[in-house]
Structure 1
Amino acid sequence: MSRLAPPATSRAAWLRRDAERISGSLPPLLVQAERIARSLVPGAHGRRRPGPGETFWQYRPAHPGDTLAQIDWRRSGRSDRLFVREMEWEAAETVMVWADRSAAMGYRSELASRSKAERAGLLALALAVLLTRGDERVGLLGTEAEPPRAGQSQLLRMAAILAAEPESPPDFGHAPLIHTPRVGRAVFLSDFLGPEETILPAIRQAAARGIGGVLVQILDPAEEEFPFAGRTRFESMGRSIRYDSEQAASLARPYRDRLAERRERLAQVARGWRLIPHRTDESPRKALIALYKSLGGA
C-alpha cells in the first residue's frame, strides 16, 4: 500500500522547524563582506566608519560647519575643546542563495536518511534564519523569492518554495546568474556534478563582480565512497545518462580522481570563495557552522 505524500504546507512547516532547530544555538550571522558604498536599508551591522546609525563610534574634534546639535557637551566639558559624538555607519548586507533542486539532487542511497535536495533546502533556510536575525537581506536565486528581503515573510516564502516539489526539473543543476545589484555575498548549495557549462559561468560572473561567497558541495555518502561492485547499471536521476559496468569496483579509483579534479576546478574558478564538502549522513549543523564561519561569524 502506498503512502500519500504530505501536503506542501506540511513539508514547509517541517523544513522551517528543522531549520530553526539547527540554527537555534548560533548567534545572529554577522556577514563580514565587502560593504556596499551606500546604505540603502538600515541594518544592524557596523561598517567601522562614521555615518547614520545607533552605535557609538568615536569622538572627534568639532570642525567649522558642525552644528550645535552635533556637539557632545558632556565630553566637551572635560576639555577646553569641543567634541562631536560620531555614530557608526550601519547598513544591511545582501546575500544571494542558490539551492540546487535538479533531479540529480533527489538522489538518496541507503546510507543516508535525506536526499541531497532536502539537505540543500534545509541548509538554505537555516542560513536565511540566521541572516534574518542579523537584519540581513536574503534572496533565493532562480525563484519568486529572488528579490532580496529581510523579515519573517521572506522566510515563509522561501520555506514554501524549498518544500515544494519542482516541476520537470533538469537532470543537473543550472546555477543562475546574479543580476541583483549591490550583492555582498553568495552561497551556492549543489552537488556540482553536472556539466561545467551549467555551473561555472554563474560562479565566474559572481567572482568577476567582486561578490564573495561559499560553495557547499552536498554529496550522498555513496557518491563519496563509491561502494559499488560487480555488475552495476548507473543511471542519472533523469535517466538521460546510462552506463553498464561488469566490474563496478574497477571504476572506484577513476571516479574518486574525477571527483577530486572537479573540486579543484571549482576552487580555481571561484577564487576567493570557500568550498565546503558536506555529506548527507553528516549533521546539518556541521555544515551550517562551517557556513557561518566562512561568511564572517565569530
Structure 2
Amino acid sequence: MQRMPEALIPPDVRSRLNELRLQAQRTRAAQGIGLHASHNRGAGLEFSQYRSYEPGDELRQIDWKLYARSDRFFVREAERESPLTVWLLLDASASMAQADQAKPGFSRLQAAKSLAACVVELALRQGDHFGLIALREDGVQLLPASSGPRQRDRLWLSLHSLTAQARFPQGERLNPVWERIVADDLVIVLSDGFDDGCIALAERLAAARREVIFIQLLTAEERDFPFTGGHLFHDPETGQTVSGDGKAMRAEFLQQFNRALQMLDARLDAAGIVHVRHVLDAPLDIPLRQLFGKHARP
C-alpha cells in the first residue's frame, strides 16, 4: 500500500517540483522572477546590489573578489524573503467526484488533492504558511494556516478524509473564508468552475485584495466528448439524468462547452484572476509549471 505522500504526488512529478518556485503573481509582475521579497535588506537569496561595508555586517556578505580588485570592502545586499500565506480553496461539491471512464479512480477531486499537495511542498520548501479550506454545502472543512512539516502532515490527513458531495455552499456558510483569508494572502482555487457560487467567491476575494489563482479541472471526456450510441448523462449535484445519442450530440456539446469556457475565461480576466486549465489525462504538474515555472507569465 502506498504511503499518503506518494499516493498524492507521483515520483516523477515530485522530482520536477524542484524547478518551480511558489510566488504571488503581483510580486512576479512587479519584480520579475524570484520569491516574494520584502523591502527589507539582508542576506537573502536574490542579489540586489552592492554597498559599502558597515560595522556589524556579517563577514560572509563581503564580496572578496570585488575586494581583491578594488581594495575596498563591499557587501552583497539581497532582498530578504518574506513568508507568504497560501490558502488552498478546494471545491468539494459533488461534481468534483467526476472521473473519466478510462481512469475511474482518478476524479477531479483527486487531481485537486494532488495539486494541493504539490503546492504545499513548494510552500514548505520556501518557509511559507499554508492552510486549507474545503467547501461543500454541508459545511466548511478548515485547516488554519501554519508552516512546517507538521502542518504538511495535518493537511495531508485533511485531504485524505475529504470527499465530494452536495452542492457548493452559499451565504453564511462561507463566513470562515472571510474570517481567515486576509488582504494580500495568496488563494489558489481548485474547482471544475461549473458552479457560479465558486466563481463569484473568487471574484469577491480578488476585489477584496486577495491574490487569487484559479485552476480549473476538467475531464478528458468533457474535452473530447468521445461517446457514441445511446448514453445516459448524469448531473451529480442535481441528480438529473439526460439520455441521448452521443455521436449526434457531440458537435453541439463541444460548441456550447467551449463557449462556456470562453465566458469563464473572460469573467476571470475581468476580475484580474490568473487562471489555468488542467485536463485529467495531462501530466499533473503542467498547471503548476504554467503558474510558477521560470517562464510563467505575470
Larger Rg: 1
Normalised by the length of structure 1, the TM-score is 0.73
The 5 A counterparts of 1:213-252 are 213-238=212-237, 240-245=239-244, 247-252=245-250
> Could you tell which deviates more after superposition, 285-294 or 123-132?
285-294
Structure 2 counterpart SS, 1:284: coil
Match for 2:260 among 259, 262, 278?
Answer: 262
Letter of the 2:166 counterpart: P
* 2:183 is equivalent to residue 187 of structure 1: no
* 2:30 is equivalent to residue 29 of structure 1: no
Which residue of the partner structure matches residue 97 of structure 1? 88
Deviations 1:21-42 (A, max 9, x none): 512233252414445xxxxxxx
Q: 1:294 to 1:260 in 2, by over 3 A?
A: farther
Which residue of the partner structure matches residue 170 of structure 1? 166
Distance 2:16 2:229 in 1: 45
Contact 1:49 1:89 in 2 (8 A): yes
Structure 2 counterpart SS, 1:223: helix
Which residue of the partner structure matches residue 131 of structure 1? 123
> Could you tell which deviates more after superposition, 99-108 or 286-295?
286-295
Q: How far 1:291 sits from its partner (Å)?
A: 3.6
Which residue of the partner structure matches residue 150 of structure 2? 153
Residue segments in structure 1 that go unaligned for 5+ positions in a row: 1-5, 36-43
Distance 2:237 2:58 in 1: 68
Higher helix share: 2
Contact 1:33 1:184 in 2 (8 A): no
Q: 1:81 to 1:279 in 2, by over 3 A?
A: closer
Deviations 1:190-240 (A, max 9, x none): 21123x2x2222111122133333322212211221223343322112452
Structure 2 counterpart SS, 1:31: coil
Letter of the 1:103 counterpart: A
> Could you tell which deviates more after superposition, 112-121 or 170-179?
170-179
- Root-mean-square deviation over aligned CA pairs: 3.9
Q: How far 1:127 sits from its partner (Å)?
A: 1.6
Distance 2:202 2:36 in 1: 28
Structure 2 counterpart SS, 1:148: strand
Distance 2:98 2:3 in 1: 18
Which residue of the partner structure matches residue 273 of structure 2? 273
Which residue of the partner structure matches residue 38 of structure 1? none
Contact 1:30 1:296 in 2 (8 A): no
Structure 1 counterpart SS, 2:101: coil
Letter of the 1:108 counterpart: A
Q: How far 1:172 sits from its partner (Å)?
A: 5.4
Aligned length: 273
Distance 1:169 1:45 in 2: 37
Contact 1:70 1:85 in 2 (8 A): no
Higher strand share: 2
Distance 1:242 1:122 in 2: 30
Q: Percent identity?
A: 21
